[in-house]
Amino acid sequence: MINLRKITEENFIDAFNLHLAAGQDKYVSHPIRSLAQAYVYRNQCQPFGIYDGNVMVGYVMVIYDYDIPEYDIWHMMIDEKYQGKGYGKAALEQVMSYIGTKPFGDSNRVTLTCNKENKLALALYKNLGFEETGVVDDDEIELSLNISA
């Protein structure tokens, strides 16, 4: 059973030990960078380990942008050993449930960016209802979804 667990002093090393498959580092930052950002934005974000039972299989961070306002999904990744098993979809569904509780502020908009070449991730996001916004930054495209209140 897939579940999200907050990154804490007990499990942050497990996040550091996650690995992307060869060539995927151009698509997503490693959790070490993401956790540094989580520290900087600690009043508006929550990093999670993605778990199958007691094994961390991936990482994702949710951040709230007070200026827009919207929720953003950052740095989602599944360890290379666990890719292709449905963990990404299951984790995203749980992330959306978490965002639905509006833990940092009121917004029904969820946004993420994805490398244009990352066809598998783009297909996953679109399958879950995310749509391209038309915003492009270098090799990243923005996708968003409005969730019900």
| Residuewise pLDDT in 10s, the chain (149 residues) | 899 999 999 999 999 999 988 888 888 888 888 899 999 999 999 999 999 999 999 999 999 999 999 999 999 999 999 999 999 999 999 999 999 999 999 999 999 999 999 998 999 999 999 999 999 998 999 999 998 75
Helix (H, G, I), strand (E, B) or coil at 107: coil
- Give the DSSP H or E segment for 41: none
Q: What homologous superfamily is domain 2-146 in, according to CATH?
A: Gcn5-related N-acetyltransferase (GNAT) (3.40.630.30)
DSSP state of 109: E
| Residue-level pLDDT at 102 | 95
Q: Where are the domains of the chain?
A: 2-146
Indicate the average pLDDT of the chain. Answer: 93
Q: Which residues make Cβ contacts (< 8 Å) with residue 119, sequence separation at least 6? A: none
Q: How far is CA 124 from CA 12, 80, 92, 119, 143, in A?
A: 26, 17, 9, 9, 12
Give the model confidence (pLDDT) of 90-114 as tens digits. Answer: 999 999 999 999 999 999 999 999 9
Percent of all residues in the chain with a pLDDT value above 90, rounded to a whole number: 85
| Residue-level pLDDT at 149 | 55
